[in-house]
Amino acid sequence: MSVSPPRPKGPPLNALRAFEAAARLGGFANAADELCVTPGAVSQHIKALEEWIGADLFERRSQGVRLTSFGSRVAPGFAAAFDAMGGAVHGMRSAARQKTLHIAALPSVAQLWLSPRLPLVRARLPQLSLSVSAIESPPNLARELFDLSLFIRPPTGAAHELILAQDAIFPVCTPDIAARLGEPQDLLNETLLHDALWPGDWAAWAASAMPGHSAPDRGPRFSLYSIAVEEARHGAGVLMGHQCLVQSALDSGALVAPFVQKVLTGKALVLEHAGFAGARDALAPVIALLKQG
């Protein structure tokens, strides 16, 4: 009679992934966003993992969750493991010589900055297939299968980042509207267009350009900046322009900047590539064309 006792089973990979993401991102909701599942699913995965290991990984509080000392001690090992797995997957794609370049971009950047540059990339690199995903938050390039990301955000100074432009904001409008604007205070009598992603833009610019006055909070609001730009082009009002996103409209004369005052937000248009060995060299032709276009 052969002896074949059952082998001990480890925890499911999804449970380990949920724990690592929640530990790194500081909560179940943030982990759920990254993993494209519900916070309840993350909670159940981690509860099952805690039952399997026989120890609590998180303290549950009314304000959220916090790693236990045990959880803090073991989390770095899982972060390194999943980073290594991400590197291996990227290496597999590279070794297979996949010809599809996956780019993640903020929707406004994808529509207003990236899209006009894609024809040049296609013309110069005809063997390359381009895939663009417009998403609201930067992906984790160590884990997700994107090669490049383009977002307006604070730079971190990491070696795998490239600052393409500082984020400068200033009002833009049609020439007809600009003709009746002599000084910033004249904006108090105009319709101001607001973008949902950057709700503090008008207040930040007004604090610098028109001290003692607050920019009106009234006016249309848009969840897509590209629609707000189109409405500004159609004469619907004055929009707070982000220079890298409205430059083409300024160059064509469809929009003008009625005032000289510009405000730096502390953010930048950041191009990020995967930080794995050789990633930047492999992507260098594309990066050069995007900077040139």
Collapsed DSSP state (helix, strand, coil) of residue 185: helix
Q: DSSP per residue over 96-107, as a string?
A: TT--EEEEEE-H
Q: How many CB atoms lie within 10 A of CB 112?
A: 20
What is the CATH T-level fold of the domain 13-93, as seen in this structure? Arc Repressor Mutant, subunit A (1.10.10)
- Per residue of the chain (293 residues), give pLDDT as tens: 556 777 778 888 999 999 999 999 999 999 998 888 999 999 999 999 999 999 999 999 888 899 999 999 999 999 999 888 887 877 777 666 567 889 999 999 999 999 999 999 999 999 889 999 999 989 888 888 899 999 999 999 988 899 999 999 999 999 999 999 999 999 999 999 999 999 999 999 999 999 888 888 889 999 999 999 999 999 999 999 999 999 999 999 999 999 999 999 999 999 998 876 666 677 889 989 998 86
Token pair 């993401």 is found at 21
**Burial call 81-104: b when 16+ CB within 10 Å, e when fewer:** ebbeebbeebeeeeeeeeeebbbb
How high is the pLDDT of residue 278? 62
CA distance 55 to 12: 16
How high is the pLDDT of residue 98? 60
CA distance 142 to 82: 8
How high is the pLDDT of residue 232? 98
The domain ranges of the chain are 13-93, 100-293
How high is the pLDDT of residue 41? 96
Q: Which amino acid is at 245?
A: L
CA distance 44 to 15: 8
CA distance 228 to 217: 15
DSSP bridge partners of 165: 269
Task: Compute, in degrees rounded to 10, the torsion defined by CA atoms 175, 180, 185, 191.
Answer: -70
**Cβ–Cβ under 8 Å, residues 153 and 125:** no
- CATH number of 100-293: 3.40.190.290, 3.10.105.10, 3.20.20.70, 3.40.50.12160? 3.40.190.290
**Cβ–Cβ under 8 Å, residues 193 and 239:** yes
**Cβ–Cβ under 8 Å, residues 195 and 240:** yes
